[in-house]
Amino acid sequence: MIQVVIVDDHELVRTGYRLIIEQQADIKVVGEAADGEQGLALLRQLEPDVAIVDLHMPGVSGIEVTERVRKLKLKTRIVIVTMVSESPLPRRLLEAGASGYITKACPAPELLRALRQVADGRRYLAAGIAEAMALDVIDGSRQSPFEQLSSRELEVALMLARGQDMQLIAERLNLSAKTVATYKYRLFEKLNIDNAVTLSHLAGLHGLLDNQGAL
């Protein structure tokens, strides 16, 4: 039996996932969380086989959940489900330790296929995402200026873009304020910007923020 925890800040979305999974004989939902912090606590407590994690959550992001699961050396494998299908997020999340990446537009059979494949120790990428990533490698193109950021720079960028201050970012990432400032300087330089307002606008243009401006 594949044990699954759902981490998503929308109750309706969690209910939808649960209803889909409850119809399967080999998959069981063992817990749900409405944000990343609650999700991490559940993952530490239950250590399910797979966690379905929303990227766009207030507070602790899907990237942070993924990285902290890896650092804690939990057996749980992460499947990210998000509205964002374009680079650089799929690649960065795989680098951070995610095992799967699908969009919220995917049909139910694809969600189930991703859960089973990831639980079996393999990675799963939605076909369109995998194709886009492959084309990026072949032609050397970059879909977004955020592609040039490291995983940590991207995470800091997204937290800054949704209005979090430096001290809060430092606390959540367990970094010094000086280190966060260094990441901020580097990412601003790479993106050729000089303030967080422009950063937020740029992130929105490239689909890295949802309609509410949350990660």
Residue 25 is part of a domain; what is its CATH number? 3.40.50.2300
Q: Which segments within the chain are labelled E, that is strand?
A: 2-7, 27-33, 50-54, 77-82, 100-103, 124-125
- The count of domains in the chain is 2
Residue 12 and residue 59 in contact, taking contact as beta carbons nearer than 8 Å: no
The predicted model scores a pTM of: 0.74
> 131 and 38, same structural domain?
yes
Classify residue 215: in a domain, yes or no: no
DSSP 102: E
Q: What is the pLDDT of residues 8-33, one digit of tens each?
A: 989 999 999 999 999 999 999 999 99
DSSP bridge partners of 102: 81
Classify residue 7: in a domain, yes or no: yes
Between 77 and 171, where is the model more confident?
A: 77
- In this structure, the chain runs to a length of 215
Between 90 and 146, where is the model more confident?
A: 146
What residues have CB less than 8 Å from 7, skipping those under 6 apart?
32, 33, 35, 36, 38, 39, 42, 51, 52, 53, 54, 57, 65
- Model confidence at 61, pLDDT cuts 50, 70, 90, reads confident
- Laid out side by side, the sheet with 77-82 consists of 27-33, 2-7, 50-54, 77-82, 100-103, 124-125
Classify residue 160: in a domain, yes or no: yes
- Of 137, 172, 196, the last residue of a domain is 137
- Measured CA to CA, the distance from residue 60 to residue 108 in angstroms comes to 26
The yes-or-no verdict on residue 164 having pLDDT over 90 is no
The yes-or-no verdict on residue 194 having pLDDT over 60 is yes
**In terms of residue numbers, what domain contains 43?**
2-137
